[in-house]
Amino acid sequence: MRLKHIKNADVIIASSPYLIKEPMLYKGKWKELFNNNNPIEIEIGTGKGKFIIGKSLENPNINYIGIEKYDSPLVNAVKLLENININNLKLICFDALNINEVFDKEIDKIYLNFSDPWPKKRHEKRRLTSKQFLDKYELLFKNDKKIQMKTDNDDLYEYSLISFEENGYEIIKTDTNYIDTITTEYEDKFIKNGKNINYIYVVKK
């Protein structure tokens, strides 16, 4: 789906108290930024922020970080947060390809919601459930490695199941018609159009 460019998006999101402008400075020190020892969960590809904001409101004893590569989608998240005071949420405008520059053995769970499927074989390494990315995630987790994924793309779902298993993850739960209590903007559109939602939850000890 083509991203809509928003004029001055970088300036708009930079003015938000939720945006961390230099996330590399907090590598290994995110608990100090949140000022507590609560679990830290991240969403890679947070888009317009509906899911990560919903999670942070529902679970005040868990810290959440939304990571989005492009600044335009984050404008929506920033606007949603204008009149809300949430102490357990931060946003990062950052390319997940370099995620190891930002976190070090401090993450408890990763959410991958409706990631780009990169359907062409030559683009396999760009898929967020490829071995290349799973190897990056290995260095992020504090203890057990927990990943939750949702996708409308059936091929990415099947690919991810195989990739998780090949890389040592135990598949705890799968569902090809998943209904979540907290949804993303894409998810709402897919459900409205009758598209099934695929779900995977995996753990690696």
Cα–Cα nearest to 23, from 15, 13, 33: 33
Instruction: Determine the Cα–Cα distance for residues 4 and 175; give it in Å rounded to an integer.
Output: 31
Catalytic residue among 104, 116, 175, 180: 116
- C-alpha 71: how far from chain center: 15
Instruction: Determine the Cα–Cα distance for residues 110 and 96; give it in Å rounded to an integer.
Output: 12
| Cβ atoms < 10 Å from Cβ of 150 | 24
Catalytic residue list contains 116: yes
Single-letter residue type at 168: G
Structure tokens at 5: 């460019």
Instruction: To the nearest 10°, report the CA torsion of 95, 39, 77, 35.
Output: -100
Residue identified by tokens 């793309």 is 153
Contact status, residue 19 vs residue 93, Cβ threshold 8 Å:
yes
Structure tokens at 174: 């799968």
Contact status, residue 198 vs residue 180, Cβ threshold 8 Å:
no
Instruction: Determine the Cα–Cα distance for residues 169 and 118; give it in Å rounded to an integer.
Output: 22
Catalytically active residues are 116
